[in-house]
Amino acid sequence: MIAYLDCSTGVSGDKLLGALVDAGFDPAVLRAALDGMGLSAIVVSTPRRDSAGASGAGVLVEEPDAHARDFRALKALLEAAAVPSAAREGALRALQALAEAEARVHGCAVQDVHFHEIGAADTLVDLLGVALALDALGITGLVASPVAVGSGTVVTSHGELPVPAPATALLLEGVPIVPGPSASELTTPTGAALLRAFATGFGTLPPMTLRRTGIGCGTRDIGLPNVCRLLVGEPLGSAPGSDEAVLLETNIDHLTPEELAVAADRLRDAGALDVWQTPIVMKKGRTATLLSLLAAPADAARLAALAIAETGTLGVRTLPVARTLAERDVTEIETSLGPARFKIARFADGTRTLRVESDDAARIASGRGLAVDAVARVLEADAATVTGVQPRRQPASERDTNPSA
């Protein structure tokens, strides 16, 4: 799934999270994650709100006896969170970006950044909630409009600052911005950090088959709808048929396997559709690695530049390609081993198959000390009972389907 975020009246953590809730994210997933982190004192509610005629979901965070938390404390909480790895890594990316910007503004080390005026509990809920919501809704590409930042000044604990606030401006470097319709702060540092961590592109609405919409409402009255609007759908061509993509390739013979693995992970996190490595032999018999990635056409130039920056390669080849895709959806199902996400594919002949998300199977297997393959078979058998859709993998033996024996 892809999504388009309308930032014409700015973006903040609560507005983006509210839009995702309005689009179908279950706040109970966030509640369970906070409880598992020992943060049951943090209360999160998502009331319906009206903002100058627009109705959507708001987000209210309360913590009795709230106190400031520094970067190290929030990072430790996220690293230990029992959530899908993609969500954890995304929340940590956003936290790192936010802390680095605040450190530059205040002239301190990243480790010493304290979250005061932006609110430690609010920050944690916004970063983790958005990461969980994008993962749960299966959104792998997020395109944002040019970001309205506002104008004038904003009062903080450090005094009256120009808009955009210094940390917000740092986080939006390289991002298209506009003043927006209100002489006030429209985009917050947390909102900018979330865009930095999760947006895969900026511009106009990408072609899609629209499946969900969501509106997140802010609390301030700015004289017009103070909202973020989210459109979620399937890229045109993701129904049975084809779409366009770009294949990016570069030959690498100067990085260690560990360094190359980090570069591949960063490219994947930045929005590459897929990343893989192939052993090759270059001139003079030198062994090397062909680093390949698949990108949406709108992301190709950005990902090529990132590949150069991450690997130090002197060039990246690009080749337009066409893909034939099966119709697919991602759904979460309660199984005998706990909740897990499944891909359900529909083929041209009308048949359907399902497959458990590998991250969820690995998480459950690790938590129970069981073999991943055996757990995956149990999860898929349970899902087949609920949906009537048969698993893609071969049926398991009786021994394999009872990992608790």
pLDDT band at 228 (very low <50, low <70, confident <90, very high): very high
What's the confidence (pLDDT) of residue 237?
54
What's the confidence (pLDDT) of residue 399?
42
Q: Which of 125-134, 230-239, 272-281, 335-344 has the lowest mean pLDDT?
A: 230-239
How far apart CA 128 and CA 279 sit, in angstroms, is: 37
**pTM of this structure:** 0.62
What's the confidence (pLDDT) of residue 272?
93
**In this structure, what is the dihedral angle of CA atoms 355, 359, 362, 367, given to the nearest 10 degrees?**
-120
At 76, is the secondary structure helix, strand, or coil?
A: helix
CATH 1.10.101 for the 327-391 domain, yes or no: no
**Comparing C-alpha atoms, which of 169, 173, 54, 189 is closest to residue 122?**
189
**Comparing C-alpha atoms, which of 243, 242, 254, 245 is closest to residue 291?**
254
Determine the number of helices (DSSP H) and then strands (DSSP E) in the chain.
Answer: 11, 23
Q: Say whether the peptide bond before residue 320 is cis (omega within 30 degrees of 0).
A: no
Whole-number mean pLDDT of the chain?
Answer: 88
What's the confidence (pLDDT) of residue 151?
83
Strand partners, 353: 345, 390
Q: Give CA separation, 289 vs 58, 271, 281, in Å.
A: 48, 21, 8
pLDDT digits (tens, 9 = 90+) for 209-220: 899 999 999 998
pLDDT digits (tens, 9 = 90+) for 290-344: 999 999 887 888 899 999 999 999 889 988 887 777 777 888 999 999 999 999 9
CATH architecture designation of domain 241-325: 2-Layer Sandwich (3.30)
Q: Give CA separation, 233 vs 34, 227, 328, in Å.
A: 29, 20, 12
How far apart CA 319 and CA 245 sit, in angstroms, is: 9
**Comparing C-alpha atoms, which of 193, 219, 35, 227 is closest to residue 100?**
193
For range 390-395, the mean pLDDT: 74
| Two structure tokens written together for 312 | 């130090």
What is 106-159 written as a DSSP string? HTS-GGG-EETTTTHHHHHHHHHHHHHHHHHTT--EEEEPPEE-B-SEEEETTE
pLDDT digits (tens, 9 = 90+) for 65-124: 777 788 998 999 999 999 998 899 999 999 999 999 989 887 888 887 877 534 688 999
Task: Spell out the domain ranges in the chain.
Answer: 2-235, 241-325, 327-391
How far apart CA 145 and CA 5 sit, in angstroms, is: 6
How far apart CA 228 and CA 144 sit, in angstroms, is: 10
Give the Cβ contact number of residue 15 at 10 Å.
33
Strand partners, 319: 247
How far apart CA 182 and CA 227 sit, in angstroms, is: 13
pLDDT digits (tens, 9 = 90+) for 171-192: 998 889 999 888 888 999 999 9
pLDDT at 197 over 60: yes
What is 320-345 written as a DSSP string? EEEEEE-EEEEEEEEETTEEEEEEEE
pLDDT at 403 over 50: no
What's the confidence (pLDDT) of residue 240?
47
What is 256-269 written as a DSSP string? -HHHHHHHHHHHHH
